[in-house]
Structure 1
Amino acid sequence: MNRSRKIVLFIAISIDGYIARPDGDISWLDDVQGEGDNGYSEFIQSVDTVVMGKKTYDDVLKLTNNQYPYEGKTSYIFTRKETSTNLNLVFTNENPAAFAEKLKSEEGSDIWLVGGADLLDSFMKEKLVDEYIITTAPIILGDGIPLFKANNPEIKLNQKSTRQYGEFVQYHYVHA
């Protein structure tokens, strides 16, 4: 049986909807008491492909001392500049809708839309995200990089589950 691959957003936010401070800093997540790895291990086993923007890619490398954490997963990095392939790392500037259609038609597990906000926005405007797994941290940042930008289409969702990991609360939504 060939099941369709899904594009899944898996991300953490502040209560007021920010994924980072204005300068991109996410250290506030370290101040929240979680439980284990807050569902990350379970989630990462469900995907074989990661998709992110170039700024998010650069931030991931900074956070991990240039040790790319998604080895063994095919990674697509959306960039306005270079396009190249290096092992399982593909830099692309494809149209998101054509890209998603091609990727979903291939055999494999689900696809993790890592971020950032600009890439998510382009995927949302084309209604390409199938599931949203959003983990909320008990902090109000007051300003920062919002998860959702203005002028997105209305998207009706059903809540699939809610889980608590220490102080974090994770909401899992699917299309209605």
Structure 2
Amino acid sequence: MSKKRKVVLFIASSLDGYIATKDESLEWLFKVEGEGDNGFAEFYETIDTVLMGKRTYDWVMNQEITEFPYKNKDCYVFTRSSVEDTENVRFINEDVTDFVQTLKAEEGKNIWIVGGGELLHAFVQRKLVDEFIITVAPTIIGKGIPLFREGDYQLDLTLKGVRNFNQFVELHYKQ
């Protein structure tokens, strides 16, 4: 019997609940002293599929990278625009719920929602996220891009575990 695939959010947040500053900067995150890779490599081994919004994809591609960071994973980018697929990415312009249900029905490892805020909001509203792994940094930004947008929804989660990586605290919840 095969294990059911899960959709997992693995993300860092400021203490006051922001994933980036208003100008999409993550500098605040890199100033915090962590421990190793703060559990990233361990998590990365549990997934084979990456989902992200177009703005997050554009941000990743604008970084000084020599190689696409999710090269050995199936990578899907949700967009309302018509964009041609690349060697590493398939651009998706279809219903989020139907697409995710199809992915979850396939054999494979877990599915990672990389970001961003708009895509995550759609997933949370539709209760498509099975697990939330949120690493909290001891930084207060004051304003920025919120981890969770205001909306007409409520999720009741169960704490699965807590770990710390030096100054970071990882909170792991399941739906």
| Shared fold (TM-score, shorter chain, > 0.5) | yes
Q: How far 1:3 moved relative to its partner?
A: 1.5
Matched, 1:86 2:60: no
2:28 partner letter: W
Q: CA separation in 1, counterparts of 2:65 and 2:44? A: 20
Q: Structure 2 matches for 1:1-176, cutoff 5 A?
A: 1-65=1-65, 67-175=67-175
Query: Which whole-Å deviations, capped at 9, do the CAs of 1:13-68 have from their partners, x for residues lacking one?
Result: 00000000001001111100000000000000000000000110111122243631
Structure 1 residues without counterparts, runs of 5 or longer: none
Q: 1:68 to 1:88 in 2, by over 3 A?
A: closer
TM-score, with length taken from structure 1:
0.96
Say if 2:68 and 2:88, in contact at 8 Å, map to a contact too: no
Whole-angstrom CA distance in 1 between matches of 2:17 and 2:163: 18
Question: What TM-score does the superposition give when structure 2 sets the normalisation length?
Answer: 0.96
CA deviation after TM superposition for structure 1 residue 153, in Å: 1.4
Say if 1:132 and 1:172, in contact at 8 Å, map to a contact too: yes
Q: What do the CA deviations read for 1:110-138 (whole angstroms, capped 9, x no partner)?
A: 00000000000011111100000000000
Instruction: Give the RMSD, CA atoms, in angstroms.
Output: 1.1
Q: What's the secondary structure of 1:86's corresponding residue?
A: coil
Q: Using a 3 Å threshold, how does the CA distance of structure 1 residues 83 and 107 change in structure 2: closer, same or farther? A: farther
Q: Deviations over 1:149-171 (max 9, x none)?
A: 01141111111010000100000
Count of aligned residue pairs for this structure pair: 175
Amino acid at match of 1:4: K
On the 8 A contact 1:84/1:92 being kept in 2, the answer is: no
Report % sequence identity: 49
For 1:48 and 1:82, locate their aligned partners in 2 and report how far apart those are by CA, in whole Å.
25
Evaluate the alpha carbon distance shift between residue 60 and residue 167 of structure 1 in structure 2; reply closer, same or farther with a 3 A threshold: same
- Structure 2, unaligned runs of 5 or more: none
- 1:24 counterpart SS class: coil
Aligned-partner Cα distance in 2 for 1:62–1:38 = 24
